[in-house]
Structure 1
Amino acid sequence: MKFPIKLLVVAVAISFTACKGGDKKENKNENKTEYADAGNDDANEIVEYNNVLVSLTDQNNAYLKRVDENLQKISKALMNPDNRFAFMGIVSPYSSSSFSHSKLKPETPPSALSNDDQKYFKENVAGLNETLAKIKDTYKTLDDYIKAEDWKDDKSAKGNKLIDSIYSMSKTYYTYDENLLAKLEVIGDDAERIVLKTHPLKEYIFAMKDDRKAAGDFNKLIIGTKNFKADEGKIKSAYESLTAQNTKHTDMDAPDAAKFPSKDGSFKTFNESFKDYLIEAKKAIRDA
């Protein structure tokens, strides 16, 4: 079966993570990488780059979710093309460009990162962008195919082939995506712990980081399974843990709206988005 292109689409601007300042004291007991002892300026630069990349992947995920929703509709329509209403309500997905005040760009990692890590990010961002461009081009071909009603000539053969191609490319895309986020998880976490050591919202920031990590791990588990029946117990157990984590974080008191304007709403929105993700995950488990 085909799982959704991406289960996790928390397309929320996580403004909590875009913070500056912090404590310059070292924390040598929690070293994970060479960045755990970074100076405050380097840590801020790494955090800023983290935010830029997360913003890019969130923007792409929002687009790919819309593509996936359309592919599911188109796939059903191609199986029943004689239904004159089959292709109605399918709107071409749009890809918006996120606005950023940062001088950093996804394609240009900061000098605060080692040469090896800069090379790693450059290569994976390039792969990410190139694959997304191919997905967009292929979807455009599919869209033209549907509008021209070419499915009448080949009994939907090319349409189904294009859909399979997009799903295949999406797997490549999310390989790059997971590579980037996995690297950021460690590097960004070390840098953020330096910057956020005394930040009043750190418990909320790390609650959301924990949710992102847990959801990413669950994506790998459910999308990567080759034998759902064999992995069913492990998958359902992981889902229950996700649900419990969401309940725990939803029950947290929201940030003080008077002291931190809009942060209370952002935190609540994130938790609601995570709950939407849980619904999609549950549907995927049921379908499997």
Structure 2
Amino acid sequence: MKKIIVLAMALSLTATVVSCKKGAGKLGSAVLNMGSETDANAIIDFNNNFIDSYKSTSKHIERILKYTDEAVAKSKGENVLIMPIVLTSMDYSFSKIKEVPSGFDKDKAAIEKEFSIYKAKKENIDKKIEELKSYMTSEDYKDDKGAKAEAIRKEIETDVNAFYAAGENIMAKIKPATDAAEEVILKDHPMKEYIISSKNVMNSLDSVIDLLGKQYSGQFNEAEAQKKYEEYAKAVEANAKLNFDVKDQQYSYKKSQFESFNKNASNFLDLYRKLIRDAKEKGKIQDNDIQQIDSSYENVLGAYNSFVK
């Protein structure tokens, strides 16, 4: 599996939805088939925790694949100066997921099945990388000329493919109910206008990231990249024009978080322009530019999550 594909997947994960929880009404019961506001909140929590876990594990897997490539090379006698560092994954969000909420109703069983695969592959990948690290540390590759390193790499890549397939299936299954739960929770929320507008920014940003991920691993198309830039810039401008005026004093501290989100969203635009200019000149998206975009995306997402939570 190509590492750049993993990077694209890690970049394009959907932003965590709002978790500013409020009571769920009759609309929630109709849409989600839920009996109480607890069900709506459970869906929001599952969504947020799963997305955080998926993002974290995707980054972890990227490092693992880099390590496996270098391990195979070194075990076969190639010159590898420094082996990549792969630390134990600390996935706190994953540990918060105790079960699939009943509010997912008819999709609950399917989500549980995919989540079991997701969990099993996640655990197996971690076991295999530890096995490979032990093999490299003991220099056992001197006995089999790297045969085991190659075998473990193939096993890990197979599990990684299955992990991402399960992750994408879960994302597709939980989205409708999560959107409905969010709509219910926001129905009478004091910050509804700002949250919905900010989410529009994130949706546009995710669309940008999805496109750049594809173009990074494929061919750069300036017209497509520019079109996404203009769509995102429009959403950012509309959000920045909103005057944060929430009467409820318990949300007064959110003003600075809203402004921070807008600033980070605007900073992303600067790097996006640079990426387009450099890619146009070089004929492809540069590694340095995609790394800067990745870091900037994390900043925007972090600011968004701080605002809506």
Give the TM-score band, short-chain normalised: 0.5 to 0.7
Assess if the C-alpha contact under 8 Å between 1:128 and 1:177 holds in 2: yes
Assess if the C-alpha contact under 8 Å between 1:49 and 1:106 holds in 2: no
* Cα offset, 1:128, TM superposition: 0.8
Matched, 1:83 2:58: no
Q: Which has the higher contact order (CA 8 A, sep 6+)?
A: 1
> Which position in structure 2 is the counterpart of 1:164?
154
The 5-angstrom pairing of residues 24-43 of structure 1 reads 24=25, 26=27, 36=31, 41-42=36-37
* Cα offset, 1:47, TM superposition: 4.5
In 2, the alpha carbon distance for the partners of 1:41 and 1:130 equals: 32
> Which position in structure 2 is the counterpart of 1:112?
103
> Which position in structure 1 is the counterpart of 2:185?
195
* Cα offset, 1:79, TM superposition: 2.9
TM-score of the two chains, using structure 1 as the length reference: 0.68
In 2, the alpha carbon distance for the partners of 1:109 and 1:282 equals: 39
* Cα offset, 1:170, TM superposition: 1.2
SS at match of 2:254: coil
In 1, the alpha carbon distance for the partners of 2:266 and 2:9 equals: 12
In 1, the alpha carbon distance for the partners of 2:133 and 2:267 equals: 29
The 5-angstrom pairing of residues 85-234 of structure 1 reads 85-87=81-83, 90-98=84-92, 106-114=97-105, 116-199=106-189, 200=191, 201-204=194-197, 206-207=199-200, 210-211=203-204, 214=207
* Cα offset, 1:169, TM superposition: 1.2
> Which position in structure 2 is the counterpart of 1:30?
none
Identify which of 234, 258, 263 aligns with 1:264.
258
The 5-angstrom pairing of residues 13-52 of structure 1 reads 17-21=18-22, 24=25, 26=27, 36=31, 41-42=36-37, 45-52=39-46
Assess if the C-alpha contact under 8 Å between 1:11 and 1:58 holds in 2: no
Q: Name stretches of at least 5 consecutive residues in structure 1 with no aligned partner.
A: 28-33
SS at match of 2:36: helix
In 2, the alpha carbon distance for the partners of 1:270 and 1:94 equals: 30
> Cα deviation per residue 1:231-265 (whole Å; 9 max; x = unaligned)?
x58x8776555544544444432885944166337
* Cα offset, 1:91, TM superposition: 1.9
More helix by share: 2
Residue 9 of structure 1 aligns with an amino acid whose one-letter code is A
Tell me how large the CA RMSD over aligned residues is. Answer: 4.6
> Cα deviation per residue 1:200-235 (whole Å; 9 max; x = unaligned)?
233245326625863796599789x9xx6xxx58x8
Assess if the C-alpha contact under 8 Å between 2:200 and 2:235 holds in 1: yes
> Cα deviation per residue 1:77-136 (whole Å; 9 max; x = unaligned)?
64354536242xx22232224269xxx96352333332x222122212111101101111
In 1, the alpha carbon distance for the partners of 2:260 and 2:45 equals: 15
> Cα deviation per residue 1:252-280 (whole Å; 9 max; x = unaligned)?
328859441663377369859988x987x
In 2, the alpha carbon distance for the partners of 1:143 and 1:183 equals: 36
SS at match of 2:90: coil
Residue 109 of structure 1 aligns with an amino acid whose one-letter code is V
In 2, the alpha carbon distance for the partners of 1:140 and 1:51 equals: 31
TM-score of the two chains, using structure 2 as the length reference: 0.64
Assess if the C-alpha contact under 8 Å between 2:52 and 2:93 holds in 1: no
* Cα offset, 1:168, TM superposition: 2.0
Residue 85 of structure 1 aligns with an amino acid whose one-letter code is L
* Cα offset, 1:182, TM superposition: 0.9
Q: Aligned pair count?
A: 263
SS at match of 1:21: coil
Assess if the C-alpha contact under 8 Å between 1:151 and 1:158 holds in 2: yes
* Cα offset, 1:176, TM superposition: 1.1
Percent of paired sites with the same residue: 17
Q: Name stretches of at least 5 consecutive residues in structure 2 with no aligned partner.
A: 245-250, 276-283, 291-309
Residue 118 of structure 1 aligns with an amino acid whose one-letter code is K
> Which position in structure 1 is the counterpart of 2:10?
9
Distance 1:69 1:7, change over 3 A: same
Identify which of 53, 68, 90 aligns with 2:62.
68
